[in-house]
């Protein structure tokens, strides 16, 4: 039984991760929408003060340290670089990457004290292979690569692992909003396995990565993309 904090837990991938991990762990969840649950805090992760409050609420709920942090909250912006506003640039960097970095900085002390911890970042294959018209999104996701490797080295002797899961297209509200019917079919056509990735595949990998069997996996980016990064 571990104390697990999951961001982006109200929808899509994060919601499925919460469902799978709730079977044998204690969870504290967050998203922006209002939900009436004792183990939930609604906040916008663009706000640094709110991130700290989220951390404090989780600690208060567990009455103990956080063993596992899953940074799943994120948004997608698809447009050419010259159309990106300064506000959008700051916003996406803050929500997709800075919030995960700050939360990691907050949980790491307790993990070191307990000589055990797991941090999982939900990246994207757009941060592995790049995606035209998603340069900002790709940048926020590839940031997890350097972050995971560097932090993995920093805490390698503390029994703490840091990894990034890079999904391909997953059928969630994010993907449904980003793709029209024609684009959805294109995704299926260009994906070697001719399908979307399912949220459960990502949730099950999280379950494995937090287990002791995965203690040697650290600083890695693991692609679950139905073959999309393999080439053609």
Query: 71-130: which residues touch ligand NAP (CB under 6 A)?
Result: 72-76, 95, 122, 124
Q: How far is the CB of 114 from ligand NAP (least distance, A)?
A: 27
Is position 224 an interface residue for ligand NAP (rule: CB under 6 A)? no
Site map 46..75 versus ligand NAP, x via CB under 6 A: x-------------------------xxxx
Kindly give the residue spans of alpha helices, DSSP state H, lying in 80-180: 86-92, 99-114, 135-154, 173-178
**H or E stretch at 133:** none
Total binding residues toward ligand NAP, as defined by CB under 6 A: 28
Query: Considering the rule CB under 6 A, would residue 13 count as an interface residue with ligand NAP?
Result: yes
Structure letter (DSSP) for residue 197: B
One character per residue 168-197, x = contact with ligand NAP (rule: CB under 6 A):
-xx-xxxx----------------------
What is the Cα gyration radius of the chain?
Answer: 17
Kind plus residue range of the DSSP H or E element containing 62: helix 48-62
By CB under 6 A, is residue 33 in contact with ligand NAP? yes
* CA 218 and chain centroid, separation: 15
Residue with tokens 């919030």, as numbered in its chain: 99
Structure tokens at 135: 């340069």
Query: φ and ψ at 38, to 5 degrees?
Result: -70, -25
For residue 203, state whether it binds ligand NAP (rule: CB under 6 A).
no
Query: Is 76 annotated in the active site?
Result: no
Return the active site residues.
137
Contact footprint for ligand NAP (CB under 6 A): 8-14, 31-33, 44-46, 72-76, 95, 122, 124, 167, 169-170, 172-175
């Amino acid at each position: 039984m571990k104390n697990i904090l999951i961001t982006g837990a109200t929808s899509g991938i994060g919601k499925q991760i919460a469902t799978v991990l709730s079977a044998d762990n204690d969870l504290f969840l967050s998203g922006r929408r209002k939900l009436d649950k004792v183990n939930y805090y609604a906040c916008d992760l663009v706000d640094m003060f709110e991130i700290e409050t989220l951390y404090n609420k989780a600690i208060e709920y567990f009455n103990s340290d956080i063993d596992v942090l899953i940074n799943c909250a994120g948004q997608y912006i698809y447009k050419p670089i010259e159309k990106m506003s300064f506000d959008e640039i700051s916003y996406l960097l803050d929500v997709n990457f800075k919030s995960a970095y700050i939360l990691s900085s907050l949980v790491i002390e307790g993990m070191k004290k307990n000589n055990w911890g797991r941090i999982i970042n939900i990246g994207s294959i757009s941060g592995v292979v790049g995606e035209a018209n998603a340069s900002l999104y790709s940048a926020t996701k590839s940031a997890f690569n350097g972050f995971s490797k560097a932090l993995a080295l920093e805490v390698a002797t503390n029994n703490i692992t840091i990894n990034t899961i890079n999904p391909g297209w997953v059928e969630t509200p994010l993907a449904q909003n980003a793709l029209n019917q024609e684009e959805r079919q294109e995704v299926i056509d260009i994906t070697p396995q001719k399908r979307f990735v399912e949220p459960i595949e990502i949730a099950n990998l999280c379950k494995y990565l937090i287990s002791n069997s995965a203690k040697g996996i650290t600083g890695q980016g693991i692609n679950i993309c139905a073959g999309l990064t393999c080439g053609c």
